Amino acid sequence: MANNPGAKKAIRKIERRTEVNKARRSRVRTFLRKFEEAVATGDAGAAKTAFVEAQSELMRAVSKGVVHKNTGARKVSRLAARLKKLAAA
């Protein structure tokens, strides 16, 4: 258990940051789910708008440090490939 004031403050900061990061991660997952649903319906227009929103949200999470840069890039790349495949079909 933390004994000195600095360690106690660090614990408080970590708790606050954890809550914010959970909310950001949840928000990213929501946008990814919306993209998946748009792809499942086969609507290329809806999938395109959902892709743009999901990409934006993923990159925001990367900039905030919630998601690693390479992870964000990989996810966006895979989403773009799915969108391209849908548009070609």
Cα 31 from chain centroid (whole Å): 7
Q: Give 51-73 pLDDT, tens digit per residue.
A: 999 999 999 999 999 999 999 99
What's the N-to-C CA distance of the chain in angstroms?
A: 58
Q: Give 73-82 pLDDT, tens digit per residue.
A: 999 999 999 9
> CATH number of the domain that 51 lies in?
1.20.58.110
Residue 89 has pLDDT above 80, yes or no: no
Q: Per the structure, how many domains does the chain have?
A: 1
Contact 79, 35 (CB under 8 A): yes
Q: Give 9-43 pLDDT, tens digit per residue.
A: 999 999 999 999 999 999 999 999 999 999 999 99
- Kindly list the distances between the CA atom of residue 59 and the CA atoms of 2, 27, 66, 74, in Å, as whole numbers in the listed order: 35, 12, 10, 11
Closest of 44, 28, 42, 40 to residue 76, by C-alpha: 28
Q: Which domain holds residue 74?
A: 5-88
Residues across the chain: 89
pLDDT of residue 54: 97
